[in-house]
Amino acid sequence: MSNSPTIIPVIAPPPAGFGAAPTFSPLYQQIKALITGSLQAGEWKPGELIPSEVELAARFKVSQGTVRKAIDELSAENLVVRRQGKGTFVATHHEVRAQFRFLRLMPDAGEAHQADNQIIEVKRQRAPADVARLLDIKPADAVIFIKRVQSFDGAPTILEELWLPGLIFRGLTAERLVEYKGPMYGLFETEFGTRMIRATEKIRAVHADHIATGLLNVSVDTPLLSVERVSFTYGDKPVEVRRGLYLTDRHHYQNELS
Amino acid sequence: MSNSPTIIPVIAPPPAGFGAAPTFSPLYQQIKALITGSLQAGEWKPGELIPSEVELAARFKVSQGTVRKAIDELSAENLVVRRQGKGTFVATHHEVRAQFRFLRLMPDAGEAHQADNQIIEVKRQRAPADVARLLDIKPADAVIFIKRVQSFDGAPTILEELWLPGLIFRGLTAERLVEYKGPMYGLFETEFGTRMIRATEKIRAVHADHIATGLLNVSVDTPLLSVERVSFTYGDKPVEVRRGLYLTDRHHYQNELS
DNA sequence: TAGTGGTCTAGACCACTAT
DNA sequence: TAGTGGTCTAGACCACTAA
């Protein structure tokens, strides 16, 4: 193509200034949305190679630089991972580099945790009202409820309760959770086609209740971190609510402000 | 310039492959370092307009695109702020958008805090051993110690202790802190030429001690968030240690994982 | 109107990876 | 050697701001 810069290719252009809400957006944003759509639709699975920048530029009929800028942002949002000389890959939770993105509890001293995961309970139930609101589903809808304890170096440290939409995680059982080795988000991604993209956490200090007392092996009224997490998949759709109680006598929640 | 792409301008080039440790770095990274240097040296003060991309490109004898990429990163790191049609400005803590970057405690419900800041104590002392280590100074060196309580909507909520290098913050007094309106980091930046760039926080759950009990008006053994912050200025130099106790009965620490 | 940052293109070369 | 992402350039036009 010689020169046709004002034409917006592929995507329906807002040709002139009329209609309700112009909704302009840069070309690279439109390309980014298209690629995100393909990721969401599963055209390329987590861990797989996506087409090269040159190929994508040809497919969308834009320059390589425009595709590059789109992928730049996807890479910054951890949706894809670039590897020089190899290509661009769909991000996956089955990677070392992705492991600690959602687990912020670090040992005060020493090395990586020798982690152990104990499933206490898994059941299907109706969504509690507050969980339903957070998951954006109806209270009558089914959810999978999971309770587990994570130990580091033999010491029970995290007591967690999770609620997952029953519709998406149909067939998730305690057996499956127990036999699966590796991060839980890896399981969700591989077995249920649901990839956690981002999450928000609300953190408080609370007292251990009598249940936590037993499972974490601490005395009543031990101060614990309460961490309520809502995780989102593509399209900012909430797909997990998690309530954790963290024992912070030998660990701390690490955060970077930048 | 017609065509001289292999020449690295301005900065001493690694002309061929010899010498110890080649230390290659992309041109835009070198430009970024130069601009950061000017920021650190105070060539442009916080809030001020920096030269346009075209000007900087001419100064450094590179293309505008290269300067742009350098500024892209500085903008992503919150060192500068771009404003279309106006120019690029040195970031400052005297902005609404920057206020909540370091204060993560949010009210559970309702609107922005009616904040009140009560200075309890300001004194000059020798650095405690652990603080000295975090600030990368000698234990014999002087630090400014500040103790204060922040209240939201009339309720005492944060009890904080701060340690600042005495060398940098010479002349910081209780009076100055009390009479200054606005964020403390704004004061540091304007009066002491030290701008906080990023920080790390370690968060734990602890019991209120008897001092916190009085100042936060809570009973002994109330669970509190312990937040230890180390703040850094240009060149990753630590310039503040802060230990806060957050009351989280009506507030929570908000965090985004992405 | 002039100047700024924002977008888009086209083409060149480099660094890295695999075959 | 071929293909990938990474860097750099030069030039065009757009959107926004202010005089």
CATH number, domain at A81?
1.10.10.10
Give me the residue label for tokens 């009351």: B247
Q: Are strands A142-152 and A80-83 parallel, antiparallel or unpaired?
A: unpaired
One domain for residues B239 and B141: yes
Considering only CB atoms, B203 lies closest to which of A200, A252, A258, namely: A252
Asked, for residue B66, whether it belongs to a domain, the answer is: yes
* Helix, strand, coil percentages, rounded to 5, for chain A: 30, 35, 40
Structurally, chain B folds into a number of domains equal to 2
Residue type, A79: L
Answer yes or no: is B13 within a domain: no
Interface test with B, best of A101, A200, A253, A256 (most B CBs within 10 A): A253
- Same domain? For A36 and A135 the reply is no
- Distances in Å between the Cα of A150 and the Cα atoms of A62, A103, A113, B87, B229 are 49, 12, 10, 51, 27
Q: Are A242 and A171 in contact (CB under 8 A)?
A: no
A16 domain residue, yes or no = no
- pLDDT for res B23: 56
A219 and A244 co-located in one domain: yes
Nearest-nucleotide field for A64 (CA, C1'):
C9
| CA–CA separation, A81 and A52 (whole Å) | 12
Whether A224 and B229 lie within 8 Å, measured CB to CB: no
Subunit contact B77:A246, Cβ cutoff 8 A: no
Q: What is the DSSP string of B157-177?
A: EEEEEEEEETTTSTT--HHHH
CATH number at residue B126: 3.40.1410.10
Q: Using the 3D structure, point to which of B74, B90, B106 is the last residue of a domain.
A: B90
Shared-domain flag, residues A109 and A76: no
From B200, B201, B258, residue closest to A78, measured CB to CB = B258
Listed in sequence order, the residues at least 6 apart from B169 whose beta carbon sits closer than 8 Å to its beta carbon are B144, B188, B192, B194
Question: Can you tell me the mean pLDDT for A81-97?
Answer: 95
Q: Are residues B39 and B145 in the same domain?
A: no
- Residue A124 (CA) to nucleotide C7 (C1'), in angstroms, measures 50
Which of B90, B110, B136 is the last residue in one of the domains?
B90
Choice among B11-15, B51-55, B78-82, B209-213 with the minimum mean pLDDT: B11-15
What pLDDT does residue B1 have?
Answer: 32
pLDDT one-digit tens code per residue, B48-83: 999 999 999 999 999 999 999 999 999 999 999 999
User: Which of B51, B43, B247 has the alpha carbon at shortest distance from B152?
Assistant: B247
Contact list, A24 vs chain B (CB under 8 Å): none
Same-domain check for residues A117 and A197: yes
Q: How far is the CA of A80 from the C1' of D11 (A)?
A: 31
Query: What does DSSP say about strands A105-107 and A251-257: parallel, antiparallel, or unpaired?
Result: antiparallel
Touching A: B residues 213-232, CB under 8 Å: 221, 223-225, 229
Using the CA of B82, give the nucleotide whose C1' is nearest: C5
- A118 within 8 A of A151, measured Cβ to Cβ: yes
Q: Take residue A35 and report the two structure tokens written for it.
A: 């690629």
**B213 or A112: which carries more pLDDT confidence?**
B213
- The answer to whether residue A258 sits within a structural domain is no
Cα A246 from Cα A223, distance rounded (Å): 9
Is B200:B230 a contact under the CB 8 Å cutoff?
Answer: yes
Contacts of B252 in chain A (CB under 8 A): 202-204
Residue-level pLDDT at B35: 98
Residues B86 and B136 in one domain: no
Task: Tell me the pairing of strands B198-207 and A251-257.
Answer: antiparallel
Instruction: Using alpha carbons, select from A84, A91, A71 the residue that is nearest to residue A29.
Output: A71
Is 50 exceeded by the pLDDT of residue B7? Answer: no
Which residue of B84, B242, B257 to mutate against A (max A Cβ within 10 Å)? B257
- DSSP secondary structure code for residue B76 in this structure: H
Domain boundary, last residue among A37, A56, A90? A90
Question: Confidence class of residue A182 from pLDDT cuts 50, 70 and 90?
Answer: confident
Region A186-209: what's the mean pLDDT?
A: 96
Question: Which 3 state secondary structure label does DSSP give B18?
Answer: coil
Question: Is A32 in a helix, a strand, or coil?
Answer: helix
DSSP 8-state code for residue A236: G
Q: Would the pLDDT of A67 be above 90?
A: yes
Closest CA to A203 of A225, A235, A183, A175: A225
CB–CB contact A203 B248 (8 Å): yes
Q: Which band of pLDDT confidence, cut at 50, 70 and 90, is reported for residue A10?
A: very low
Please name which of B204, B95, B110 lies closest in space to residue B155, comparing C-alpha atoms. B110
Q: Within an 8 Å CB–CB cutoff, is residue A257 touching chain B?
A: yes
Statement to judge: residues B120 and B212 lie in one domain: yes
Question: Are residues B86 and B101 located together in one domain of the fold?
Answer: no
Based on the domain organization, do B85 and B106 belong to the same domain?
Answer: no
pLDDT of residue A24: 77
Give the domain extent around B73: 27-90
**Whole-prediction pTM value?**
0.90
Of residues B5 and A146, which shows the higher confidence score? A146
Q: What is the mean pLDDT of chain A?
A: 90
Distance CA B57, CA B80 (A): 17
Same domain as B139, residue B108: yes
Mean pLDDT computed over every residue of chain B? 90
Q: Is residue B16 part of a domain?
A: no
In a domain, B80, yes or no: yes
Instruction: Clarify whether residues B155 and B126 are in a common domain.
Output: yes
Q: In a 10 Å sphere around its CB, with 0-12 CB exposed, 13-18 middle and 19+ buried, how is residue A40 labelled?
A: middle
Cβ of B258 under 8 Å from any chain A Cβ?
yes
Q: Is B124 on the interface with A (CB under 8 A)?
A: no
Residue B5 has pLDDT above 60, yes or no: no
Given pLDDT bands bounded at 50, 70 and 90, which one contains residue B11? Answer: very low
